[in-house]
Amino acid sequence: MSHNQPKTEFEEDGAPKSALRGHEVIKSYLKQLDTSPGVYRMLDASGGVLYVGKARQLRNRVASYARPTGHSARIGRMIAATASMMFLTTRTETEALLLEQNLIKQLKPRYNVLLRDDKSFPSILVTTEHPFPQIKKHRGARKQKGKYFGPFASNAAVNRTLAQLERVFLLRNCSDADFEGRTRACLQYQIKRCSGPCVGHISAEDYRALVQEGLAFLSGKSSDIQQRLAAEMQAASDALEYERAGAIRDRLAAMAQVQVSQGVNPAGVSQADVIALHQEGGQACVQVFFIRANQNWGNRAYYPRTGGSADAAEILEAFMVQFYDNKPPPPLILLSEGVERPDMLEEAFTAKAGRKVVLLVPQRGEKKALVENALRNAREALGRKLAESASQARLLEGLARAFHLPAPPKRIEVYDNSHIQGAYAVGAMVVAGPEGWVKSAYRKFNIKGDDLTPGDDFGMMKEVLRRRFRRLVKEDPDRSKDLWPDLLLIDGGAGQVSAVQSVMDKLGVCGVPVVGVAKGVDRDAGKEEFHVSGQRPFALPHRDPVLYFVQRLRDEAHRFAIGTHRARRSKAIGATPLDDVPGVGAARKRALLAHFGSAKAASRADLADLKAVDGISDKMAETIYSYFHENG
C-alpha cells in the first residue's frame, strides 16, 4: 500500500476566521477546495482537534458541513465548536483513508471513533532454523524464522492450545540453549508432552514427521491425521503392542480436546475474522472472532469510543482500519453490518496483506450463523459493560461523598512502593476511572535517590510524586489534556500524606485531593483508617461498598508494585559483567556463556579463545578483550 506524502497542505486563506464559528467558518473554506481526495481536520478555538475525516472529494464533503441544518446532534455539536480547519490532499481515497486513521490514532479527536485497546495478539511459532524445531508462543514482530499460526484471542487460548498440541505431537518447547545443554530428559518428557529429542529418545527423521503432523494440524488438516493415527492405533493393538496403542489413543484424545475447547469449528470457513457490532446506551461493542484452519481460535470484545453517536457503518470502518493497522487481515472478513465503501477497504487490506481480501455481510448459511453468534456475544458483552459502568458510577459517587470531593472523580491515581530492605526499590502508580482500570496509564518508577536511607518509605514516595507531578506540570500546565488526577490515594498514613503534600506545595500544585489509606487495628482489612491533611483520621462502615472499592484500588497498586519490584530484582540477579560491554547484546551474551560456561570465564579468556566463539567477530573479540583487560 502506498504511503506517499500528500500533495498539498493548507490551513487558511488570510480571512479573519477567529471571528467566525460553526457552519460560517466552514463555508468560508469552500473557495479554496477542489474535488481532490484528502483529509480534513476541524479545530476548536484553542486549536484542539475536534474531528479528523477523509473525503473522496474534499469540496463536496466540507460543503455538507456548511449547511446550517440537517445534521445529527453529534455532528451539530461538532460544527458549532469548529473555529478553523486544516486540509491535506492525497492522490487517492485509499491513501486518505490510511492518513485519516493514522491522524485519529495520533491526535485522538473528541468526535472520532477511536479503538482504545489495540494490543498485539499471541500466536504459535514453530521454528525452522534448528534440526529439532521448537513450538512456542510468540507475540510481537515476526522476525524469527519459522511458521506462524494465529492470531489467538488471548494468552489463555494460545496456552491451552499449546498444552494440547504438546500432548498430541510431542514437540519440544525448551529454548535452544536448554536443548543443547541437557544431559537427561526433562519433566516434559516424563509427563508425555515431549518426545525427548535432546537426549536421543527420537531420531531426527521421526521428529521431523511429528513436526509435519503438527504443521498440518495447525493448517486445518486434522481429519487426515486423526484417520492415520486411528489406523496406527489399531495396528499396534492387533500386534499386541498395547503400550504404543495406549500412547496413540492419548494423542487422539488430546487432539479431540483441542477441537472441543475451541467451540465453534466451521467446516466451510477455513480462514476469516468475524466482526460484529452492537450499540446501546450511547456505547458500542465490537466482537471479533478469529477463525483459522477451520477452527475457532478465540474472540475478543472491544469498546471503541464512538464520539457520541456515530452510525454503525462509520464505527465498523474506523474500527477495521485501526484494528488491522498492526496485523495482517485474513482473506475473508465477515461483518454484521455493511460499510459505506467496502471496495475501498478491500483495496487497502488487499495491498496490506499482499493477497485478495474480501469483505462480506452474509445473508444465509454457515457464515450467517457465525456472524449471528458474534453479534450475540457483542450484545451480551455490552450489556455486562453497561451494568459494570453503572456500578462503577455509583462507587465513584460514593467515593466523592466519603472524601468530600466536589464531583465523582474521573481519574484516580493510586501509589505504592515495594523493596527489600531498600534494595531494588520501585514505585508504582495505577489509574482507575469511570470505566474501571486504565492500564495504559499505569506507570512504574525505579527509585533513583542516592541520598535515601535504605527503607525510607517517605523519601521514596516523595521521589515518585516529585517525578510524576514535575512531568505533569511540564506536559500539561493548563490541565487541558485530562491527565491530571481528581484524587490521589496513597498507601500509608499521616506521614505519607504529609510527605506527598510537601512535594505538591514545592511544585505549586494545588486542588488535587490526597488521601492516605492506612491499615487500622491489627492491620486487618476492613479496619482501614483514612488520612487527609488537616483532618482527624476517619473510617468507613465495615460493609460499605466504597470501603471495598478502596481496598481493591489499594490492592491493585500493591500487586503492580510487587510485580514491578520482582521484575527489577530478577533482571539484576541475571545481570553479568558482559551486559556492560559495548556491542554485546543478548545473542552474543548467550554465545559467550555457552562457550565459556560463565561470564567470569569469558572475562578472563585470551583473545584467541574469544575469536573462536561462534558469532563473535575478530573486531568484537578485540572489543571484549580490551574491555576486561584495559586496566591490566
Per-residue model confidence as pLDDT tens digits over 396-434 = 999 999 999 999 999 999 998 886 655 678 889 999 998
What residues does CATH 1.10.150.20 cover in the chain?
A: 577-629
Residue 520 has pLDDT above 70, yes or no: no
Is the pLDDT reported for residue 588 higher than 50? yes
pLDDT given for residue 165 in this prediction: 80
Report pLDDT for 286: 94
Average pLDDT over residues 585-610: 81
Spatial distance between the Cα atoms of 500 and 511, rounded to a whole number of angstroms: 13
Q: CA-based angle 597:601:607, to the nearest 5?
A: 115
Mean pLDDT of 8-16: 42
Cβ contacts of 506 within 8 Å, gap of 6 or more: 466
CATH class of residue range 271-383? alpha beta
Crossing angle of helices 155-169 and 242-261, in 10° steps, is: 160
DSSP-assigned letters across all residues of 227-252 = HHHHHHHHHHHHTT-HHHHHHHHHHH
Helices 457-475 and 494-507, packing angle to 10 deg: 30
Highest-pLDDT range among 231-235, 334-338, 559-563: 334-338
Q: How confident is the model over 449-459, as a mean pLDDT?
A: 70
Q: Is 417 left (phi over 0), alpha (psi -120 to 50) or beta?
A: beta
Per-residue confidence (pLDDT) for residue 522, from 0 to 100: 55
Superfamily of domain covering 8-107:
GIY-YIG endonuclease (3.40.1440.10)
Of the listed ranges 52-66, 235-249, 359-373, 398-412, the least confidently predicted one is 235-249
| pLDDT exceeds 80 at position 446 | yes
Cite the residue boundaries of each domain of the chain with CATH code 3.30.420.340: 271-383, 412-571
Q: Which pLDDT value is given to residue 63?
A: 93
Containing H/E element for 124? strand 123-127
Cα 628 from Cα 425, distance rounded (Å): 30
DSSP for 192-233 reads TS---GGGTSS-HHHHHHHHHHHHHHHTT-HHHHHHHHHHHH
- Other Cβ atoms less than 10 A from the Cβ of 295: the count is 23
Query: How far is 293 from 265, CA to CA, in rounded Å?
Result: 9
Region 124-151: mean pLDDT is 87
Adjacent-strand bridge partners of 418 = 426
The pLDDT of 374-398, averaged and rounded, is: 89
Domain 577-629 bears CATH identifier 1.10.260.40: no
Residue 2 has pLDDT above 70, yes or no: no
Residue range 412-571 forms a domain whose CATH class is alpha beta
Least trusted range by pLDDT, from 8-12, 43-47, 314-318, 552-556? 8-12
User: Which pTM value belongs to this model?
Assistant: 0.69
- The reply to whether omega before 434 is within 30° of 0 (cis) is no
**DSSP string for 286-317:** EEEEEEETTEEEEEEEE--B-TTT--HHHHHH
Q: What is the pLDDT of residue 8?
A: 43
Of the listed ranges 62-76, 127-141, 500-514, 594-608, the one predicted with least confidence? 594-608
**453 or 357, greater pLDDT:** 357
Question: What phi and psi values does residue 107 have, to the nearest 5 degrees?
Answer: -95, -25
Residue 197: per-residue pLDDT? 92
| 486 or 239, which is more confident | 486
Distance CA 333, CA 276 (A): 10
Q: What percent of the chain has pLDDT over 70?
A: 88
* 461 vs 428: CA distance, rounded Å: 10
Segment among 1-10, 144-153, 335-344 with least mean pLDDT: 1-10
Task: For residues 244-270, give the mean pLDDT.
Answer: 67
The number of angstroms, rounded, from the C-alpha of 129 to the middle of its chain's C-alpha atoms is 29
Predicted pLDDT at 329: 92
Does residue 57 have a pLDDT over 80?
Answer: yes
State residue 421's pLDDT score: 56
Q: Using pLDDT thresholds of 50, 70 and 90, give the confidence band for residue 4.
A: very low
pLDDT tens digits, one per residue of 158-194? 888 888 788 878 899 988 888 888 888 888 888 888 9
pLDDT at 39: 94
Q: Which of 47-51, 401-405, 452-456, 582-586 has the lowest mean pLDDT?
A: 452-456
Q: What is the average pLDDT value for the chain, to the nearest integer? A: 84
Strand segments, DSSP code E, in 6-90 are 8-10, 38-43, 49-55, 84-89
pLDDT by residue (tens digit) across 552-561?
Answer: 999 999 998 8
How many helices and strands, by DSSP H and E, does the chain display? 20, 19
